[in-house]
Each structure stands twice: as structure tokens, then as C-alpha cells.
Homo-oligomer: A and B are copies of this chain.
Amino acid sequence: MTDAAAGPPRDPQAPQEAQYPQDPAAAQPMVQLLDRHGVRRTHPEHEVDLEPEELLALLRDMVLLRRLDTESEALQRQGQLGLWPGSRGQEAAQVGAGRATRRQDQVFPSYRDHGAVLARGIDPLHILSVFRGVDHGGWDPATTGMHPYTLVIAAQMLPAVGYAMGVQRDGAVGTGDAARDSAVITYFGDGATSQGEAAEALNWASVYQAPVVFFCQNNQWAISEPVSRQSPVPLHQRAAGSGMPAVLVDGNDVLAVLAVTRAAMDRARAGGGPTFIEAFTYRMGAHTTSDDPTRYRSAAEVDAWREKDPIDRFRTHLRAEGLLDDEHEAALAAESDAFAERLRAGVREIPDPDPVSMFEHAYAEPHPQVLAERDEFLAAWEQHDEEARELAGGAS
């Protein structure tokens, strides 16, 4: 054990030194509870104390999340999905933050935050239905506390702040009642921090002291652009522009992410206002299945990050602590296989939407032009359907 009072132990090869070369002095030290070799460190401010089952649950979440990624990529190749934005490499960030929310909290994700979705207990087939092109929304936001994915970069952030202002007005912060006090968390990427709306969101949250946590997954890339193209300084410094406290956390360390996010959510629920979290991580796969990362980044870079794989790190830790054994691994592998099987079978069974359903939800109340268009559509569809049937009949 190192001396906590002396500050966090610094691994000389810790990624922050390697990754913020532009202005290392400006970067705050990165919170780590597991060093890159999986050795548990303590931290003077950020700690978690988990039961063995809780630790194993984190591993399970990460393993299933990775499996979701692997299966979905395969499903995309088979034409079952139109597109897949992978989360490989970001499992610790997404699972750690996901596990920091409570039932009554509200989550505003981006489009790659599958771990955040799973953490809300949502059936992953809802995610697949979005990327299969069946649906823009997926799960039910009302019952899950999970807003739909937002594809317009940074556009979910201001609504998240507004939602948090609503929470404030409902008196659901600072009551001390753990089942009532609520917070909002919004996920976004490194690229998103360049959008004006992101800056507005940080500022509003700060002005109104809204109970919202800004969870930035700095995965080093916005499609083909490195984070240095977005900002000359570490991203957690964005928060300084509106005086918001910010934390830099090792995004490949699930314990550190959980600790930091929990603390920020607790602070928000208690009425302490917003926090910015930069989770320093890496997108190990392509941006999406449409992307070709070999055009813009080196295999060496990817290899270097593979060394920091968040699942391997955590697994090593659990093994070293004697919490994980072969039997447990086997059970987890079986669970993962069953999970994958469900995905593969389930995705094929997602029914195609009824075309006429597109007319149903544009407006809550009738819009005569839409109604007229629906009638036209139906008439034409029936007619051409009939023609098609006749044609088919004639041919048979």
C-alpha cells in the first residue's frame, strides 16, 4: 500500500503522460484505482469499497458488453444490421459510469454508449433494432430513465441540463432521501466538446447549478481526427470556462470510473451542482462498421492501447485478489455464449416496422396534411400491392 496522503501513486508509464504532450503541466493527475498491471492503488479522494459479487458483476457487465460488440459487428457483416458503432476498449468507462446511476436518475447518451444502456437493464435487442434500421428510438425512455441515442453530436447535452433543471424544480435534490434525490448524466465524446452547444450546456449547468454530470469519453478519436484537432489542452479543462469542477479519470479502470462518477452523481443529487468527468480511454475498433481506421491511425498505436485493455486489467486484478477462478470464468463464458445466441436469434425476429406506422408519431394531435398523406399512401400501397399480387398470381 502506498501512502494515500502523498497523493495517488504515479505509474511512470501511465497514459496521461504519454497522451497530453501539448501541455502536460495543465493536465491534472488522472485518478486510478487499478494501475495498468491490475494492481490496486488507493486514492486520497476517490475510493470504492465493493463486495466480491459487485466486483464480479462489473466484470460480467464488461464481458457481455464486449460480446455485444463482437456479435453486432458480425451481424452487420451478415447484413442483419445496417451499421454498428463499437464500444470495444470503452467497457470500463461505460460500465463504471453506468453502475453509478440509480433507478430515479436520468441518462442522456450519445450513440456508442451500449454499456450505459445495458446498465439500465435494457434488452440489448432494442439497441440492435436502432442499428438494424427498424426504429430511431429503441427502448422506452419513460420506464428506463434512458433517453434515446442522439446522433447529432452534442445535441443531447442541453436537453440533459434542462431535464436536470426540472429535477431541481421538482425538489428532487438535496432532500437526503436516497430514493428521491436524483441526478442526470450525459455521455459524449472528445469530438463533441468542440460543439458550441457543449459549451452552452456546461455553462448553463454551472449557472443554474443543475444536478447533472458530464461524462466525456475521450477515446482519442472523432472518426479520423485525433483529440489534438479538437483542443490544444486536455478536455477536462473545458469545464474551467464555466467554473465547473472537473476530474480526469483513467477510463480503462472500471473501479476508478465508478468511484469518480458515483461521487459526482452523489454531489449532484445532494444539490452540489454539476461535474465534468473526462474518462481517458480508447476506441479500439473502427468508428463504425463503415469506417476504415487504417487510413488514419497506426497499428502500433492500437497495439499500445491493447496493452491497456480494460477487461484484461480488471480480470488480472480479480485473479490476483482471488476473486475469480476458472470455474467462474467458465460460467461467465457460458453466460456470454447464451447472451450472444439470444442476440443472433433475436435480431432476426425483430419485425420490420409496418410502413404505415411512420405516419403515427410525427404529431401527437392530428395534422391534416399528414392525415391526407397517409390516406394517399394507403390507397397507393393497396393498389400496388394488389397489382403485385395479381402479377404474382398471373405468373404462378
Q: Which of A4-37 contact B (CB under 8 A)?
A: 22-23, 26
Tell me if A241 and B243 are in contact (CB < 8 A).
Answer: no
A239 at the binding interface (Cβ < 8 Å): yes
Task: Please indicate which of the listed interface residues A200, A229, A230, A232 has the most CB atoms of chain B within 10 Å of its own CB.
Answer: A232
A196 at the binding interface (Cβ < 8 Å): yes
Least distance between A13 CB and chain B CB atoms (Å): 25
Tell me if A203 and B207 are in contact (CB < 8 A).
Answer: no
A197 at the binding interface (Cβ < 8 Å): yes
A199 at the binding interface (Cβ < 8 Å): yes
State the CA gap A209–B22 with chains docked (Å). 13
Task: Please indicate which of the listed interface residues A199, A229, A232 has the most CB atoms of chain B within 10 Å of its own CB.
Answer: A199
- Write out the residue numbers on chain B whose beta carbons fall within 8 Å of the beta carbon of A229: 207
- Write out the residue numbers on chain B whose beta carbons fall within 8 Å of the beta carbon of A263: none
State the CA gap A230–B241 with chains docked (Å). 12
- Write out the residue numbers on chain B whose beta carbons fall within 8 Å of the beta carbon of A238: 241-242
Secondary structure type dominating chain A contacts: helix
Closest B residue to A199 using CB positions: B199
Given the known A-B contacts A195-B200, A196-B199, A203-B194, are A26 and B243 also in contact in the complex, defined by CB atoms under 8 Å?
A: yes
Interface size classification for chain A: 20 to 34
Partner of A241, one of B23, B207, B209, B237: B237
State the CA gap A206–B241 with chains docked (Å). 14
Least distance between A213 CB and chain B CB atoms (Å): 17
Least distance between A369 CB and chain B CB atoms (Å): 26
Partner of A243, one of B195, B203, B232, B242: B232
State the CA gap A195–B200 with chains docked (Å). 7
Task: Please indicate which of the listed interface residues A23, A195, A197, A233 has the most CB atoms of chain B within 10 Å of its own CB.
Answer: A233
Q: List 6 A-B contacts (CB under 8 A).
A: A23-B243, A196-B197, A199-B200, A203-B230, A206-B231, A237-B242
- A22-B243, A231-B242 given. 11 additional CB < 8 A pairs? A23-B243, A26-B243, A194-B200, A199-B200, A206-B231, A231-B243, A232-B242, A232-B243, A238-B241, A238-B242, A241-B242
